[in-house]
Amino acid sequence: MGEEGTGWSFGGCSMREIVFDTETTGLDFEADRVIEIGGVELWNHIPTGREFHCFIRPAGRRVDPGAFDIHGISDDFLKDKPLFEEVADDFVAFFSDAMLIAHNAAFDVRFLNAELKRIGRAEIPLSSIIDTLPMARRKFPMAPATLDALCSRFQIDTSRRDKHGALVDSELLAQVYIELIGGRQAALLLNPEEGRSQGNDTPGDIVLQPTRQRPAPLPPRLDDAQRARHAAFVATLGEEAIWRTYLPVE
Which are the catalytic amino acids? 164
* Ramachandran area for residue 219 (φ above 0: left; ψ -120 to 50: alpha; else beta): beta
Looking from the CA of 24 toward its CB, the CA atoms found within 13 Å total 19
Shortest CA distance to 169 belongs to which of 158, 182, 180, 153?
158
With contact defined as beta carbons under 8 Å apart, do 19 and 40 qualify?
A: yes
| CA dihedral (94, 96, 98, 99) positive or negative | positive
Q: How far is CA 88 from the centre of its chain?
A: 23
Please state, in angstroms and rounded to a whole number, the distance separating the CA atoms of residues 154 and 134. 17
What is the end-to-end Cα distance of the chain in Å, rounded?
60
| C-alpha closest to that of 191 among 176, 209, 203, 173 | 203
Residue 3 near residue 97, CB atoms below 8 Å: no
Measured distance CA(19)–CA(103) in Å, rounded: 9
According to DSSP, the β-strands at 99-102 and 129-131 are parallel
Helix (H, G, I), strand (E, B), or coil: what is residue 221?
Answer: coil
